[in-house]
Amino acid sequence: MRGSLPINRRTVFKLRQIGMATLGSVKINIFICGCVALTLLAVANRNRDGSSSLMGWTGDVALLDRSSSPGGRYAIVMNTWKRYDLLKKSISHYASCPRLESIHIVWSEPDPPSDSLKTFLNHVVQLNSRNGHQVELVFDVNKEDSLNNRFKEIKDLKTDAVFSIDDDVIFPCSSVEFAFTVWQSAPDAMVGYVPRMHWVDQTKGKDKYIYGGWWSVWWSGTYSMVLSKAAFFHKKYLKLYTDEMPASIKEFITRNRNCEDIAMSFLVANATGAPPIWVKGKIFEIGSTGISSLGGHSEKRTQCVNKFVAEFGRMPLESTSMKAVDSRNVWFW
């Protein structure tokens, strides 16, 4: 009996080890199966709301507020210049967004839009308008070629919300609707997808600043501007830009063909004393590289910042690290 006791203990110990290992393996398998199930559920939900169709551009969006009144809608103001294929793609896409009231194309070319272009775009808008609401399409034709035209006051604008967008930038309708919802919670702010920043140039003193692009935002985690190539703001800022923006700044922008977006950021920050709101969203740039890819771009933007500081008499931009994220579409936020 005594001789067999150690053997039995060893046997029991080994059996216990085997049991623990088996139980651990079962737990791991259950965990893995749970992860797979959650992934499939997330994919099914994403496919159900249509947000992954056609490069993620389109899809029906489940909205908390489907108000048909102009107050529950927004207008797109789209800047364009001799890129008719891109314009057609962008208009075709955004016309399908649920709470869109109207599209205003900022036209600054020397020749007016052709009848064939207007006919095509009107047909596309009529075809893609949803929920029984016909989106209005308007060409805002300007005599002068100036980037300031994108911020001219629109007298008969029915909505308070303006979504300023370039013709070569596309966001899924679900992202646009989310940004619009964020703007509704802070209608005095600029709410956009493309953050930029500024900081004091320590080599030149406290009144001189440096413009920071995307990598500066990524590195520091802060921003003080959202660019108007993709941003919501209140229509009152169009009137304010038209009537109150210093003529010297407008002339500088026209002459240099740059920095109208920085000027609008200055104007809104000067009026509110608050930072903008950066919204996380997936962007599709369907055009070729723009002026930001040219040499010396950051230096020119820095020059604009310091020019505008001098004109405003102070630095109105406010920095923040806040970012709005639609938690329904991400696991970690």
Digitized pLDDT (tens) for each residue of the chain, 333 residues in all: 444 444 455 554 455 555 555 545 544 455 555 555 554 454 444 443 433 333 333 333 333 344 445 679 999 999 999 999 999 999 999 999 999 999 999 999 999 999 999 999 999 999 998 878 899 999 999 999 999 999 999 998 999 999 999 999 999 999 999 999 999 999 999 999 999 999 999 898 778 999 999 999 999 999 999 999 999 999 999 999 999 999 999 999 999 999 999 999 999 999 999 999 999 988 888 876 555 555 578 899 999 999 999 999 999 999 999 999 998 877 765
> Counting Cβ atoms within 10 Å, is residue 42 exposed (0-12), middle (13-18) or buried (19+)?
middle
Place of tokens 């020749």: 111
Both structure tokens of 267 = 């104007």
Q: What is the pLDDT of residue 71?
A: 72
* pLDDT at residue 56, rounded to an integer: 38
Distance separating alpha carbons of residues 179 and 165, to the nearest angstrom: 13
For residue 88, what pLDDT is reported? 96
What residue has token string 């919204």? 279
Handedness of CA 54, 168, 175, 141 (dihedral sign): negative
Please report the pLDDT score of residue 286 as a whole number.
Answer: 84
Q: Which of 65, 207, 261, 326 is catalytic?
A: 261
How many CB atoms within 10 Å of residue 164?
25
Based on DSSP, count helices (H) and strands (E) in the chain, helices before strands.
9, 13
> What is the number of other CB atoms lying within 10 angstroms of the CB of residue 138?
15
Element (H, E) at 125: helix 115-128
Q: Which of 157, 84, 80 is nearest to 119 (CA)?
A: 84
Rounded to an integer, what distance in angstroms lies between the CA atom of residue 303 and that of residue 282? Answer: 30
Euclidean distance between CA atoms 209 and 306, whole angstroms: 6
Instruction: Quote the pTM value.
Output: 0.78
Q: What is the structure's pLDDT at 7?
A: 47
pLDDT recorded at residue 284 = 87
CB 170 within 8 A of CB 93: yes
What pLDDT shows up at residue 297? 81
The secondary structure of 65-113, three-state, reads CCCCCHHHCEEEEEECCCCHHHHHHHHHHHCCCCCEEEEEEEECCCCCC
Predicted local distance difference test score (pLDDT) of residue 50: 38
User: Could you tell me if 280 and 172 are in contact, meaning their C-beta atoms sit under 8 angstroms apart?
Assistant: no
Residues with Cβ within 8 Å of 286's Cβ and at least 6 positions away in sequence, in order, are 86, 89, 90, 168, 169, 170
Short-list 164, 159, 60, CA closest to 102: 159
Beta carbons of 271 and 237 less than 8 angstroms apart:
yes
The residue type found at 113 is P
pLDDT of residue 285: 86
In angstroms and rounded to an integer, the radius of gyration of the C-alpha atoms of the chain is 27
Active site residue 261: yes
pLDDT for 59 equals: 36
| 61-74 tens-digit pLDDT | 333 344 445 679 99
CB atoms within 10 A of CB 247: 8
Q: At what angle do helices 84-94 and 173-185 cross, to 10 degrees?
A: 70
